Amino acid sequence: MTGRTLAYPFAWPSASEQPKEFAGLHDDPVVTVVLPSGDEALLITRYEDIRALLTDPRVSKNRNRPGIARMTTRKVKAFQSQVSMDPPEHTRMRSLISKAFTASRVERLRPRIQELTDGLLDVMEAGPRPVDFATAFAFPLSIQVICELLGVPADEREQFALKQTPPWDYMTDLIERKRASPGEDLISALIEVHDEQDGRLDATELHWWSTMLLLAGYETSANQLCSALVMLTAHPDQLAKLAQDPGLLPGAVEELLRCQVVGTSLSMLRYVTDDIEVGGVTVPRGSSIITALEVANHDPSAFGCPARFDVTRSGDAPQLTFSVGRHFCVGAALARAELQVALASLLHRFPNLRLGVPADRLVRVEDAFTQGFQEVPVTW
């Protein structure tokens, strides 16, 4: 470790530029950072080290540990700390949830994603321009998709685009309604596990995971859609390549995910339960570390010219935006499907799609976790 200390999360200076802290950051395997709470943690910088630590049993996600750094000064619900993020409890819970997000199930959902996409684009096309892409398309699409999967009634979905706090109370009410009248949805399936298969899912886990699946299922996907559009319009040469060759889309989505500018890895705060060697540096037991995915995705040892956005990129390491190992995002296949369907449809419907304001006028969300955009005006 060097003597330097950086503030984390890093700020993204503009719509498509990387944080200035990335320059030379990967020269050191471990860097001390100060979190929004004022606490210090150790930032792991290199791709291979981050991959290894994410699968290391000596690294715990359970933040109910003595001396662990606080991410922010924000207060959280007391029951959050009661849900274990480590095996074996996490493994048990993940095995239940992952059944709802299998690649085959997501593929069966694609026609519905396409139908929802087409409907939103019809409304956009008929309305005035410029239009805010976030509120007109990205959030409505992501909300509709995850709500259909979870079983949130259609007339109750719009509220989630407006609220800035997790819908804990709403989920309590929805769970009770689903218990009284179950359907063919994920929350009903989880309730069945809780009520009929003793010991597999307790009430706190049911509430926590139902809420987290809702939030993670639309906020991250919607912000990634906005980010993808901003990145493409900020690089018209890359947008033109993608428009000319739709076959590039799957790889382009991976590159867009690698170049994420929608959030930080503050929530990737981990606790080290035993001494670990990282790049020749001993990270001592009891340390708070951050396995920063956006930092890994810009490691020059894993990606050639990582500052370059290239929809034809090939031969580099897989991007780590969805994490890896036991905490790999269960919704990765769904997120990819939404991005692929949405971008293909947008480019087909609006071949002259562009930002409605200069990119430097886009304003980011002021949040330690989410660094998406408040609005993304577009026209065509």
User: Distance between CA 371 and CA 380 in Å, rounded?
Assistant: 26
List the structure tokens of 97: 């949830």
DSSP, collapsed to helix, strand or coil, labels residue 354 as: strand
Give the residue carrying structure tokens 């031969």: 315
Stated as kind and residue range, the H or E segment containing 338 is helix 332-349
Active site residues: 216, 219, 221, 329, 338
Give the residue carrying structure tokens 């780590």: 320
Following CA atoms 172, 180, 90, 94 in sequence, which dihedral angle do they give, to the nearest 10 degrees?
-120
User: Distance between CA 99 and CA 336 in Å, rounded?
Assistant: 17
- Of the candidates 369, 50, 335, 373, which has an alpha carbon nearest to the alpha carbon of residue 229? 373
Burial environment of residue 337 by CB neighbours within 10 A (0 to 12, 13 to 18, 19 or more): buried
E strands, 222-310, in order: 269-272, 276-278, 281-283, 288-291
Query: Which residue type sits at 262?
Result: V
User: Distance between CA 256 and CA 284 in Å, rounded?
Assistant: 35
The secondary structure of 14-57 as a DSSP string is SSSPPPGGGTTGGGSSEEEEE-TTS-EEEEE--HHHHHHHHT-T
What is each CA distance from 306 to 252, 257, 296, 310, 365, in whole angstroms?
Answer: 14, 13, 10, 9, 24
How many other CB atoms sit within 10 Å of the CB of residue 163? 10
Contact predicate 252/239, CB 8 Å: no
- Of the candidates 292, 285, 296, which has an alpha carbon nearest to the alpha carbon of residue 60? 285
Query: Which residue type sits at 274?
Result: D
**Chain centroid, CA 103 distance in Å:** 18
The most distant pair of C-alpha atoms in the chain lies apart, rounded to whole Å, by 60
